[in-house]
């Protein structure tokens, strides 16, 4: 009986405390956030936009690669956007490709694929400059570790094209392609030192190739970076005429 009385009194005490707390005024005056004031003043919306509402989409893809030597760090930064009428125009894309091994290899590339409003023109192109080191063992099989030699060269590339819509998703056009390799040489002399120079093609300290391209393109993809469907077919004929200074080829 005494135990029941203690429990009963304890419950009365807890209820009394709860009632007392509930009657206490805990309200505080409204606080003003400086960030909220600035957002309202400049009409900045904090609501997340849907993928369709975004004008430009970015993505960053770091990766590594290795080609017979040190590992090269590559970072691909690309952007996709629409020029002109969004419903009748394909997405244009731009790729930035910086890469290095923090020692001997480094370079930068820019590659773009543009569509004007209503896909009247397709304008692809590429710019690349790089300094590279590659290891080779010469031609043929049965090579040994002692046959390894290091080939150094610098490369500059400029490609630009303009393709006009011919019918629906079919384009035709032409372009100019320029490739220059310079400071080409063997840094470590191989066992067969004369084989590199004996080959004779592309082994000069510096040479370049300038060509004219004729392009035929079919592309009905809405988004070239991440296409959901569609067909892409590209045919390129390149000629390097001598009157553009291609005597070394």
More confidently predicted of 58 and 5: 58
Backbone dihedral angles phi then psi of residue 169, each to the nearest 5 degrees: -105, 20
pLDDT digits (tens, 9 = 90+) for 58-110: 555 555 555 445 555 667 788 888 988 888 899 999 998 888 877 788 889 99
Q: d(Cα 191, Cα 136) in Å, to the nearest integer?
A: 12
- Alpha carbon 5 to its chain centroid, in Å, reads 77
Q: d(Cα 148, Cα 75) in Å, to the nearest integer?
A: 29
Residues 6+ apart with CB under 8 A from 135: 68, 69, 148, 149, 150, 151
Three-state DSSP state, 75: strand
Q: Does the predicted model carry a pTM greater than 0.85?
A: no
pLDDT digits (tens, 9 = 90+) for 165-193: 999 999 999 999 999 888 877 766 555 55
Residue 213 pLDDT > 70: yes
Q: Which two tokens stand for residue 22?
A: 């509930």
Rounded to the nearest 10°, the torsion over CA 143, 150, 178, 118 is: 80
Question: Starting from the edge strand earliest in sequence, which strands make up the sheet with 170-186, in order?
Answer: 56-66, 71-81, 92-100, 106-115, 121-136, 149-167, 170-186, 206-219, 232-239
């Amino acid at each position: 009986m005494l135990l029941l009385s203690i429990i009963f009194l304890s419950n009365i005490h807890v209820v009394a405390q709860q009632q007392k707390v509930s009657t206490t005024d805990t309200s505080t005056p409204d606080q003003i956030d400086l960030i909220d004031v600035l957002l309202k003043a400049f009409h900045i919306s904090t609501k997340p936009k849907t993928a369709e509402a975004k004008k430009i989409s970015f993505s960053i893809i770091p990766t590594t690669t290795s080609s017979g030597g040190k590992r090269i760090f590559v970072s691909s930064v690309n952007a996709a956007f629409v020029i002109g009428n969004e419903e009748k125009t394909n997405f244009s894309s731009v790729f930035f490709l910086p890469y290095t091994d923090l020692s001997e290899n480094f370079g930068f590339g820019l590659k773009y694929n543009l569509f004007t409003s209503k896909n009247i023109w397709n304008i692809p192109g590429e710019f690349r400059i790089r300094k590279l080191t590659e290891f080779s063992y010469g031609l043929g099989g049965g090579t040994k570790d002692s046959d390894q030699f290091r080939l150094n060269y610098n490369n500059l590339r400029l490609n630009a094209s303009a393709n006009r819509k011919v019918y629906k998703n079919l384009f035709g056009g032409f372009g100019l392609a320029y490739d220059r390799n310079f400071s080409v040489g063997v840094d470590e002399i191989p066992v067969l030192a004369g084989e590199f120079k004996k080959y004779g093609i592309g082994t000069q300290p510096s040479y370049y190739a300038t060509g004219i391209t004729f392009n035929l393109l079919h592309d009905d993809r809405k988004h070239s970076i991440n296409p959901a469907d569609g067909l892409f077919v590209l045919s390129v004929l390149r000629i390097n005429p001598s009157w553009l200074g291609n005597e070394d080829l």
